Structures are given as C-alpha cells and as structure tokens.
Amino acid sequence: MVRRKRPSISSKASHAPKTGGNQNQFWLYGLHAVAAALCNPARRKWRLVTTENGANQLGREIAESKLTPEIAKADAIARLLPENAVHQGVALAVSPLPDIDLQTLVSRKQDKERQIVCILDQVTDPHNVGAILRSCAAFGAVALIVTGRNAAGESAVLAKTASGALEHVPMVKVTNLARTLDQLAELGFWRVGLDSAASQPITSAALEGNIALVLGAEGSGIRALTQKKCDYLLRLPTEPGFPSLNVSNAAAIALYAAATQNR
C-alpha cells in the first residue's frame, strides 16, 4: 500500500431478566435509556416493567413499541435490578444490539459532508464509555469503536450514563485495533491520537476531512502500537501542571474541536 501524503496540521448484563428467554438479555433502566430503546427498531425488547407514573411519562414511546407494560411498585422494580440502581420507575428487558461492520457503517454515512468516529483503546469504566457515547451523539460522531477485550461493553450502567445515546450511536467492537486503524486509513480517515505529552494542542490543529479520534485509558493512555498507527498526536490545551483530564471529559473536548472545525 502506498503511504499517503499527510496534510499539514497548522498552529452486559447486571441482573438477568426473569423472562425465561435468552441469557444474553439484560435490563435497561432510567427514563432516557428506556425511552430511546423503546423507539429503536433495531433493539429487541422483551419485558417492560413500570410504575404508574413511569408508564404515564413514557406513554408515547410505549404506544410506539406496542409492548404492554407490567405495572409495579418502585421497590418491586428495584428488586429486578442491581443494588442502588436509579431506575426512575422504568425497567426494560432487552437483547444486545446487533453487531455492525465498520465498513458497512461508514458506507451508510456517506451522505454526511465529513465523518467523525471516536476510538477507545481499552477504556474499561462503563460510566466513562457511556458519557463518551453521549458526547458522540451531541457532536455528530457516526460511531464509537471499542476493543473487544479489556473494554466496557454494552450494559445497563453504560446505557444509563449514555442517557439514550446507546440507541443512536453505533458501538463497534473490534478484535484488533491496529488493523482497524489501518482500515480507517483506507476508508479515508485521518487518525488523531490524544496524548498529554504531544507538542501541539488540538485547538491549533486543522482537523479537516474524515477524522478518527483515538483516546486511551486514564493513566496508561494510548498503547504504543496504537500511537504508531496514528497520523498525528495532539494534546488538550491544559495547564502544564495539570495536563490530563478524565477520559470522558477529554473526549468531549476533542469531539467539539473536530466537529466545529469547519463551521
């Protein structure tokens, strides 16, 4: 493969649902997560348990889903879920979303003027991944790519933190991140890694064309092989004495920088 000339950059399941069905089923809970899942035709839904108030708040979504809710007290719903789950009076038993191939996904989004994907190199905290999914939805990223191992997968905690974004932004799980980064280059993406030791801040970079933003776990950061696959390494414009942020905050800033580049 001919090396491309680089453009210049200038200054699952928490508790299994008692449905008698597939063991891969799990509970989603919280108004935003459940509402989004009810409206997602790609999501297989099995059992909806709500308080009377929860059913009233999700009246339109329940009607569209054609599910008949089981009305229960809040403490009965809590017993279906992990301890201290903030369910807001709704719980929905679902199957995981179907897997999607990266090349197929990118091809479907060719109507977009430019595409942004976010890549997480072994980020394991579901709260962080959920928050990053929410930022991906807010700033128009077409996908969140995660590693198949040593990473947070689809779960109730992730979905609750994502506040509905799990149903809107495809989460693509890959077995070989280095190979995926090669594939993204072939698909026309510039691979931008965030590294607190990089010399150039992301705010002074010309992030043009299709962009793949790569972020690593807190502490360890992006792995060495992943860094080698990036076209550029950039940092956030933080103070020298405090160079790093929580990975979900870093992702939000990077996604904003990429999304607003040509506005």
Reported as a single tens digit per residue, the pLDDT across 108-160 is 777 777 899 999 999 999 999 999 999 999 999 999 999 988 889 899 999 99
Mean pLDDT on 23-45: 94
Please report the pLDDT score of residue 24 as a whole number: 83
Query: So what's the pLDDT on residue 207?
Result: 86
Q: Assign 58 a pLDDT band (cuts: 50, 70, 90).
A: very high
Query: Considering Cα of 218, then 249, then 157, then 259, what sign does the dihedral take?
Result: negative
Answer yes or no: is 253 within a domain: yes
Q: Which residues contact 125 (CB under 8 A, 6 or more apart)?
A: 152
Asked whether 92 and 28 are in contact (CB, 8 A), the reply is yes
DSSP per residue, 194-256: E-TT-SSBGGGS---SEEEEEEEBTTTBS-HHHHHH-SEEEB----TTS----HHHHHHHHHH
User: Which two structure tokens, joined as six digits, stand for 252?
Assistant: 């939000």
Beta bridge partners of 171: 144
Instruction: Label residue 54 exposed, middle or buried (CB < 10 Å: 0-12, 13-18, 19+).
Output: buried
For the stretch 209-230, pLDDT in tens is: 999 999 998 777 899 999 999 9
CATH of the domain at 36: 3.30.1330.30
Domain count, the chain: 2
Q: Which amino acid is at 200?
A: Q
Point out the domain boundary residue: 94, 123, 141: 94
pLDDT reported for residue 262: 61
Range of the domain at 71: 26-94
182, part of any domain: yes
In a domain, 1, yes or no: no
Q: Which residues of 190-207 are buried (b: 16+ CB within 10 A; e: fewer)?
A: bbbbbbeebeeebeebeb
Does residue 254 share a domain with residue 144? yes
The verdict on 71 and 129 lying in the same domain is no
Of 66, 94, 122, the domain-final residue: 94
- Residue 7 within any structural domain of the chain: no
Does 77 have pLDDT greater than 60? yes
Average pLDDT, the chain: 88
> Is the domain of 112 the same as that of 237?
yes
Identify the H or E element spanning 129.
Answer: helix 126-138
